[in-house]
Amino acid sequence: MSGAPDLLERLQVEVERARERNIKGWNYLVSSGPPRGVTPKDVVLNRGTLSLYHYRPQVSEVYRTPILFVMATTNRGYIFDLAPGQSFVEFLLKRGYDVYVIDWNPPRDDECRLRFEDYVLDFIPSCVAEVQERSGEREVSLVGYCMGGVLALIHAALHADGPVRNLACFTTPFDWSKYGLFNRWADPRHFDVDTIVDTFGNLPADLISTSFEMLRPVSKAVGQVQVWDNMWNDEFVKSYRAFDRWGAETLPLAGEYFRQIVKELFFANKLYTGELEIGGRRVDVGAIKVPFLHAIAEHDHIAPFEATRELIERVGSTDKEQLVLKGGHVSLIAGPNAVRRLWPRLDAWLAPRSA
């Protein structure tokens, strides 16, 4: 009979959780979810699909070298500022960094001709110039996530003489022949990228989000089961809703940019082979000599480990480090795992290189 009190206690806990699920489940269905991207900021540059945010300092002493985050053009930048207490930006501000974030808006119909050249030779340099003017500093730390990391990497390679002082990339694909299912779907024998781009102009957001969902077709259903099972847990539900909303807000992709990604990277793997040319200039990641940090996730299904791991070897920096962390593509940079793992590691790496 000694186990009877424990059994009764467990039953009481489950009954209470079931009650909470029913009450909070209704609120979940009728509410719009928690706010996101609320850390105080100013829009300091706005050019069509491009927005540049400057976050207001939260401490009196700030590191000299500002940070410029580069987001993938298919996703909103508020993943760096998900919610109070779960904000990468907030974390860095409280540790004394001057933070800027490049965010992207859906490309207009007339922006379907945007190419790599526009992003790495125009948009990023214009943001760097704005950061330089506002901060009064010549050098910046450039931090890119996923395809934002590819853009940051190419920009740094083509501007090896500055003004990038430090370069950090997260889950940045380099060997595009190691992309698994994406390689099969984007087989040039069957995948007619020209017809797709010529038909749609900008690649619709639904096509992009569906392709990611097809990598793990049951993950959405599993997530919905998990959130119902944890409906009693306010913090779990808050985090799930923030991630789910961000994932649902996929942006269209500029058509010509998509054509380049498919033909130059997926088909020909030119970033890896060193044959990629942007604006008539060859992209050699070996030309990058600034301190370099690359963080990759062990269980990344979007930028697979095998596609990202060799980048560190090719970058020409002598001061370079690769972090292989547990987690997936998104949990690497946001959520409880990121708070404990990536965020403090980036802080420790950047601090002595930002004074």
Give catalytic status of residue 146 as yes or no.
Answer: yes
Q: How far apart are CA 180 and CA 188, in angstroms?
A: 15
Q: Identify the active-site residue in 103, 146, 169, 175.
A: 146
Give catalytic status of residue 159 as yes or no.
Answer: no
Give catalytic status of residue 301 as yes or no.
Answer: no
Which positions are annotated as active-site residues?
A: 146, 300, 329
